[in-house]
Chains A and B, each alone.
Chain A
Amino acid sequence: MNSTNNSATYVYAVSRPHATWSASALVGVADRPVRSVRSDDLMAMVSTVDLAEFGEEALRSNLEDLTWVEQAARAHHHVVEELSRAAPVVPFRLATVYLNDGRVVAELDRRHAELAACLDRLEGRTEWSVKALWDQPADQVDPQADDQLERPGTAFLLRRRSARSRHQHDREAAEQQAKALHDALAGLSVASRRYPPQPAQLTGDVREMLLNASYLIDGTEPNSLAAVLDEHGGSTLHCELGGPWAPYSFASLEEEDR
């Protein structure tokens, strides 16, 4: 239980207590040690944090600070990863903070059935990410590129129009291919989830992202997903498989928005 009003309890994830794993050596957000809070057969991994850093006002501005966000995200991820290696885990969203341990216990009790069901659902399963980038044919990368090379004339304008329409046609075909890829991957998965494609600005890759998704599969080997990627990837789509991830994308409770 936190003894002062200056501290709060940060929650990383919920799991079930088990004999072989201990939080003792783990360091979490703000370099704070990680410990567990138990209630019945559930265990929350938590750290005591300062309200000066994780209180409402502080969080509001810290979330605008990329350095802070990155440190918190990597620390949160590290704890979740370590835990997920040992046991099924329900990761919590970044920056879930309670006023004290007692409030965490109360939440574990209140949502016990849903948390337990979620742990059961995720047991023995892993999340894999797939991104598909569109490899445009080299002669179409920029239909406007030769604007600077010659003056607009009829032949030029026609050529440019035709390049643009070819570009659009190819892009639509690539989108269809990305959708077929997603459908095939989803068909092999227990669950799937699409995220918005990441802008080129953030990926540092000039190729347009057409698919950004996660798939939940039975077991820890993504061979079936990899086979589909080999089949669908190629000259048009460049596919990347990542993981295993802790099941961030599939940790949802029945009545989440209650």
Chain B
Amino acid sequence: MTVAGRPDRPVALVDLLDRLLGGGVVLHGDITISLAGVDLVQVSLRALITSVDKLLEERPPSSSYAGET
């Protein structure tokens, strides 16, 4: 078992986004009211996945994460 999230290790962005976008009180602020049609979680996860894809494409295949345990 690993205990993560202590100061020696920054919180993973994907864990943070689960909670900041999937949790938290949702009071529709003045701005987010007009964004009501936009699912913030979807939008940001799409951004995240796109960036990860780009990152992987830029690396030579041998340095992908598979099998590096």
In the assembled complex, which residues on chain B have CB atoms less than 8 Å from the CB atom of A204? 65
In the bound complex, CA of A96 to CA of B40 (Å): 11
Interface residues on A, range: 35 or more
B15, chain A: closest CB distance, angstroms: 6
In the assembled complex, which residues on chain A have CB atoms less than 8 Å from the CB atom of B11? 77, 242
Closest to A251 in B: B25
Closest to A76 in B: B20
In the assembled complex, which residues on chain B have CB atoms less than 8 Å from the CB atom of A252? 25-26
Q: Is A180 an interface residue, CB under 8 A from the partner?
A: no
In the assembled complex, which residues on chain B have CB atoms less than 8 Å from the CB atom of A97? 29-32
Chain B 22-52 against A: per-residue CB contact (8 Å), 1 yes, 0 no? 1111110111101100101001101111111
Majority DSSP secondary structure for residues of B touching A? helix
In the assembled complex, which residues on chain B have CB atoms less than 8 Å from the CB atom of A92? 24-27
In the assembled complex, which residues on chain B have CB atoms less than 8 Å from the CB atom of A55? 31
Known: A56-B31, A63-B44. A202 touches B4 (CB 8 A): no
B57, chain A: closest CB distance, angstroms: 12
In the bound complex, CA of A62 to CA of B23 (Å): 20
B32 touches A251 (CB 8 A): no
Closest to A49 in B: B31
Known: A59-B31, A60-B35, A74-B16. A245 touches B5 (CB 8 A): yes
Chain A 80-101 against B: per-residue CB contact (8 Å), 1 yes, 0 no? 0000000000111111111100
Known: A69-B44, A69-B47. A96 touches B27 (CB 8 A): yes
In the bound complex, CA of A166 to CA of B58 (Å): 36
Interface residues on B, range: 35 or more
Number of A-B contacts (CB under 8 A): 158
Within 8 A of B (CB), among A11-68: 11, 14, 54-56, 59-60, 63-66
A240 touches B52 (CB 8 A): no
In the assembled complex, which residues on chain A have CB atoms less than 8 Å from the CB atom of B32? 59, 95-97
B42, chain A: closest CB distance, angstroms: 10
Closest to A243 in B: B5
A95 touches B5 (CB 8 A): no
Closest to A128 in B: B5
Which of A153-161, A182-190, A193-201 touches B? Answer: A193-201
Closest to B53 in A: A201
Known: A56-B34, A93-B23, A249-B23. A206 touches B65 (CB 8 A): yes
In the assembled complex, which residues on chain B have CB atoms less than 8 Å from the CB atom of A243? 5
In the bound complex, CA of A239 to CA of B53 (Å): 26
The residues of A with any CB-CB pair to B shorter than 8 Å are 8, 11, 14, 54-56, 59-60, 63-66, 69-70, 73-74, 76-77, 90-99, 103, 107, 111, 115, 118, 129, 193, 195, 198-199, 201-206, 212, 214, 226, 229-230, 233, 239-245, 248-253, 256-257
The 5 closest A-B pairs by CB, nearest first: A248-B23, A248-B19, A93-B24, A242-B5, A97-B31
